[in-house]
Amino acid sequence: GTTYLSDYRPYPFTLSTVSLTFRLAPRATRVTARLALSPRAAGAALHLDGEELKLISLALDGAALAPADYRLTETGLTIHPAALPEGPFTLETEVEIAPETNTALEGLYMSKGMYCTQCEAEGFRKITFYPDRPDVMARFHVRIEGEAPVLLSNGNPVGAGDGWAEWDDPWPKPAYLFALVAGELVATQGSFTTMSGRKADLNVWVRPGDEDRTDYALGAIQRSMKWDEEAFGREYDLDVFNLVAVDDFNMGAMENKGLNIFNSKLVLASPETATDLDYERIEGVIGHEYFHNWTGDRITCRDWFQLCLKEGLTVFRDQSFTSDMRLGAVKRIEDVIALRARQFREDAGPLAHPPRPDHYREINNFYTSTVYEKGAEVVRMLQTLLGPDGFRAAMDLYFARHDGQACTIEDWITVFEDASGRDLGQFKRWYTDAGTPHLTVTETFENGTYTLEFTQDTKPTPGQAEKPPRLIPIAVGLIGPNGDEVVPTRVLEMTEARQSFAFEGLGAKPVPSILRGFSAPVVLERQTSPAEQAFLLANDTDPFNRWEAGRSLARETLIAMTTGAAPDAEYLDAVGGLIADEAADPAFRALVLRLPSEDEIAQAIAASGKVADPDAIHAARTALMQALAARHEATLAATYEACAQPGAYRPEAADAGRRSLRLACLALLGTRDGGARAAALFDNATNMTESLGALGLLVAQGKGEAALARFRARWQDNALVMDKWFTTQLALCPPAEAADRAARLAEDPLFTWKNPNRFRALMGGLSANHAGFHRADGAGYRFYADWLIRLDPVNPQTAARMSTAFETRARYDAGRQAKIRAELERIAAVEGLSRDLSEMTARLLG
């Protein structure tokens, strides 16, 4: 069935405390739960969620319930009102579960001999009978009995002995934040003293053998704790903070109170095994999960429709954190690249939905880029509208007013209205309306007055035909003809479908820099000349728009090249000026040198109403790289040499930026030197960033086989590095061979497909090879669909998530569209398909 936002009703009971006892055994774990309940009103039945549980016993206030007193179904346990007392009572259940056979990795499961849990969103109901909804918040006391040397749960440790441990969490929480970990684990320890002088012990728990790759994670926890105090005044609130790395995990990480659980790829790092991007993500995700302690745990969501209340806000917080730890301008550009690649893509297809959806079949299918990344953009717009101080004041009010509560987007908006005195009714559409607004702009200049006229338009999305205008904050600055800024950044607030803004007293017609810092998640369409874009690339004082000018030049020349045009000379020249510009940051220069992805080009072509041709796009992009390299070979070679860094690897942003520029130069130079430099770098690299970068470039040149074999031999025992081996060769190999290579790799004994990281490494590598995945004969589609069908009964959540590779169907020619449709129909017809994947295929089929 479908769940609707409008059906929300408060739970008819309050639950004050929960006492859980786990007696761990791989195939027969016993869980007893004592719930202290109290009816809010007379006459309600008590419904507890529960799935795949074997009920052993059931007692109310110590007396066993008779079968006539309750009803047990596939989805839960309902106790008849007549069997319930009028006042408070205790319900005790005992169930048996089998963590070892839990391949869905939801609830209590085992990963390499270690017990662990994943409860968000609705996994707790696979552990015990419980009101598994986020608006039911209770205090948890947990006792774990088991042979494992380390037994962890949420909150503070309150006792431990031979074969048991007890934990008490003083902060009421919903069940999705429950966690348990048990196994043979070792900790890297540290501590943090909060601003009010409270000391917390920090532990990064990993499997023995991995402890030499935990230092960076520990430091990232400490930096996160400090930053949240400085940026938001938020302190940590328990005696211990435990973080555990797990090899089998469906997503990135999870913010369970006091016991964050992470995919090991987002914890373990050493220079030899992790790339610069890995380091940056580890720091960002550790920040993300830690920041949830306030935005998610202390203040949680009333229901799952409100997911972006915690996720959008917490992504915004982790982006701000990374921005402060690294280079703010570069981080902003990276975030916008990712937003366009994932969220704009989602918004343009059959899966489009608002940051706050109003119905779903399977909530796991809504942990999307729209909820997360667009949710973060919406928070960022609030910050832009209120200014930094106004925003901080509103956040202070949010924490003060709603601590300990389960909230809605309405509560959040009201806080911002109360703090600012503004009416945010129109702004709220960003939460409720799907789709990316397109902003067109025209300009006039007359008697010293420069006028920008904007029009906003959002195309219909599934279930939402009408799109009323939204409040769009448009940050604008004006540059004079000589390159000086004549009007500094000003935030225009567009509220109408069509609206003009005038700037007076100008001596000459300026060049506008519109949507500075990407002040709103919209597509800006503006008729402009390559000369003007080159001017902005050289002169804009806003680093985002400086990059954006180069980006749109690149995109436009690439699109023209797909139909036979020559590379735009203005673009080639403009890039040349930047490669060796010592005044610009290396990381920024690297971003300018990196061309839009083939997927982004396809998206842009489709947005203009044309058919995207994957082979032509691949050829155009390759040709533009060749043209850039031919034009600037000497500068690229000199920059490549100048960026070499003798001495020990450090993950810091400045060093990472130079490596990034070095690899960007290398990618272009490869079209000139036949891969000689890449081969030399692969032989001599002492860090994974350069080793993997060089490997990828060799693969792209069709010269990767020997290097791939050596890489495999060296790293076959390191799962995280082998994931990179699978992904890199599939994402970067010549498109014609991608599907066959994927089929060959699926036969590799190292393709342990039940491990989500490995499955994603292979399938995600294939789908990242744009022209390879979209090979005209449909071989890529067929292979991919075969594996979704195979994974679904084992791990529906991951199968459903990977099905989004098919969301771009409408961009392509009729032949490809029909082939994708046929694969989706084949999946949809599978007997016993999961709710996860059947919802996705139904939406993808439209």
Query: Could you give the residue numbers annotated as active site?
Result: 289
Binding residues for ligand ARG, total number by CB under 6 A: 11
Q: What are phi and psi of 658, to 5 degrees?
A: -70, -40
Among 20, 77, 97, 121, binds ligand ARG (CB under 6 A): 121
First CA to last CA distance, the chain: 18
Full strand arrangement of the beta sheet holding 70-72: 46-49, 76-79, 70-72
| Binding window for ligand ARG (CB under 6 A); candidates: 225-233, 248-256, 348-356, 429-437 | 248-256
Query: Of ligand ARG, Zn ion, none, which one sits near residue 121, judging by CB under 5 to 8 A according to partner kind?
Result: ligand ARG
Question: Could you give the C-alpha distances from 94 to 100, 110, 124, 411, in angstroms and in order?
Answer: 19, 21, 14, 38
Query: Of ligand ARG, Zn ion, none, which one sits near residue 367, judging by CB under 5 to 8 A according to partner kind?
Result: ligand ARG
Listed in order, strand segments (DSSP E) in 526-685 are none
Smaller CB distance to ligand ARG: residue 136 or 553? Answer: 136
Instruction: Report which residue type is found at 601.
Output: I
Question: Could you give the C-alpha distances from 200 to 173, 197, 245, in angstroms and in order?
Answer: 20, 10, 20
Smaller CB distance to ligand ARG: residue 346 or 540? Answer: 346
Give residue 749's region: left, alpha or beta (phi > 0; psi -120 to 50): alpha
Query: Of ligand ARG, Zn ion, none, which one sits near residue 254, judging by CB under 5 to 8 A according to partner kind?
Result: ligand ARG
Residue showing tokens 């002088």: 197
Q: 369 is written with which tokens?
A: 């880029």
Asked if 251 touches ligand ARG (CB under 6 A), the answer is: yes
To ligand ARG, the closest distance from the beta carbon of 84 in angstroms equals 32
Q: 571 is written with which tokens?
A: 């673009």
Smaller CB distance to ligand ARG: residue 45 or 251? Answer: 251
Beta bridge partners of residue 139, listed in sequence order: 17
Smaller CB distance to ligand ARG: residue 343 or 364? Answer: 364
Smaller CB distance to Zn ion: residue 256 or 273? Answer: 256
The pattern of x and - marking residues 67 through 106 that bind ligand ARG according to CB under 6 A reads: ----------------------------------------
The CA distance from 540 to 654, in Å, is: 23
Query: Of Zn ion, ligand ARG, none, which one sits near residue 364, judging by CB under 5 to 8 A according to partner kind?
Result: ligand ARG
Say if CB 190 and CB 151 are below 8 A apart.
Answer: no
To ligand ARG, the closest distance from the beta carbon of 372 in angstroms equals 7
Instruction: Give every CB contact of residue 703 below 8 A, 6+ residues apart in sequence.
Output: 674, 675, 679
Residues 276-295 that bind ligand ARG (CB under 6 A): 288-289
| Binding window for ligand ARG (CB under 6 A); candidates: 48-56, 251-259, 264-272, 407-415 | 251-259
Query: Of Zn ion, ligand ARG, none, which one sits near residue 178, judging by CB under 5 to 8 A according to partner kind?
Result: none
Residues 341-370 that bind ligand ARG (CB under 6 A): 364, 367
Smaller CB distance to ligand ARG: residue 380 or 775? Answer: 380
DSSP category for residue 464: B
Asked if 393 touches ligand ARG (CB under 6 A), the answer is: no
Smaller CB distance to Zn ion: residue 292 or 428? Answer: 292
Buried b vs exposed e over 485-514: b needs ≥16 C-beta within 10 Å?
Answer: bbbebeebebeeeebebebeebeeebbbbb
Asked if 297 touches ligand ARG (CB under 6 A), the answer is: no
Asked if 253 touches ligand ARG (CB under 6 A), the answer is: yes
Smaller CB distance to Zn ion: residue 119 or 522? Answer: 119
To Zn ion, the closest distance from the beta carbon of 188 in angstroms equals 24
The pattern of x and - marking residues 494 through 513 that bind ligand ARG according to CB under 6 A reads: --------------------
Smaller CB distance to ligand ARG: residue 408 or 528? Answer: 408
| Binding window for ligand ARG (CB under 6 A); candidates: 109-117, 250-258, 380-388, 624-632 | 250-258
Query: Of Zn ion, ligand ARG, none, which one sits near residue 251, judging by CB under 5 to 8 A according to partner kind?
Result: ligand ARG
Among 152, 254, 653, 844, binds ligand ARG (CB under 6 A): 254
Which residues of the chain form contacts with Zn ion (CB under 5 A)? 311, 314
CA 51 centroid distance within chain: 28
The CA distance from 343 to 463, in Å, is: 18
Asked if 450 touches ligand ARG (CB under 6 A), the answer is: no
Give residue 733's region: left, alpha or beta (phi > 0; psi -120 to 50): beta
What DSSP string describes 166-220?
EEEEEEEE-GGG--EEEES-EEEEEEEE-TTS-EEEEEEEE-TT-GGG-HHHHHH
To Zn ion, the closest distance from the beta carbon of 292 in angstroms equals 6
* Helix 375-402 with 215-232: angle, nearest 10 deg: 70
Among 92, 135, 210, 311, binds ligand ARG (CB under 6 A): 311
* Helix 307-325 with 409-420: angle, nearest 10 deg: 60
Helices (H), 326-366: 328-338, 345-347
Query: Of Zn ion, ligand ARG, none, which one sits near residue 655, judging by CB under 5 to 8 A according to partner kind?
Result: none
Residue nearest to ligand ARG (CB): 367
| Binding window for ligand ARG (CB under 6 A); candidates: 44-52, 247-255, 446-454, 472-480 | 247-255
Smaller CB distance to ligand ARG: residue 121 or 722? Answer: 121
| Binding window for ligand ARG (CB under 6 A); candidates: 252-260, 332-340, 676-684, 689-697 | 252-260
To ligand ARG, the closest distance from the beta carbon of 365 in angstroms equals 9
Asked if 142 touches ligand ARG (CB under 6 A), the answer is: no
The CA distance from 729 to 675, in Å, is: 16
Candidates 743, 644, 656, 641; CA nearest to 685 is 644
To ligand ARG, the closest distance from the beta carbon of 310 in angstroms equals 7
Candidates 774, 473, 511, 434; CA nearest to 618 is 774
Instruction: Give every CB contact of residue 302 below 8 A, 6+ residues apart in sequence.
Output: 8, 134, 135, 406, 407, 408
Asked if 255 touches ligand ARG (CB under 6 A), the answer is: yes
The CA distance from 43 to 179, in Å, is: 33
| Binding window for ligand ARG (CB under 6 A); candidates: 43-51, 145-153, 249-257, 780-788 | 249-257
Smaller CB distance to Zn ion: residue 314 or 528? Answer: 314
DSSP category for residue 235: P
Q: Applying CB under 6 A, which residues contact ligand ARG? A: 120-121, 251, 253-255, 288-289, 311, 364, 367
